[in-house]
Amino acid sequence: MFEIRVIYEPTDTDRISQALAAAFATGPARQYPTRDRKRMRLYLTADHQPTESESE
């Protein structure tokens, strides 16, 4: 497992969350504003998606 942090524009929230969920097995997301309050920080605990041979 590893931690992912993304700093992004608030209008990109859905697109970024969907892309990360498609690429990794993710846990609950935590969102906080940046210090300047202009962007957001997204933190996710993630793991690699299992391959087909691992899921059998």
**pLDDT per position as a tens digit, 2-51:** 999 999 999 998 899 889 988 999 889 899 999 999 999 999 999 987 77
Predicted structure pTM score: 0.73
CA 47 – CA 33 distance, rounded (Å): 24
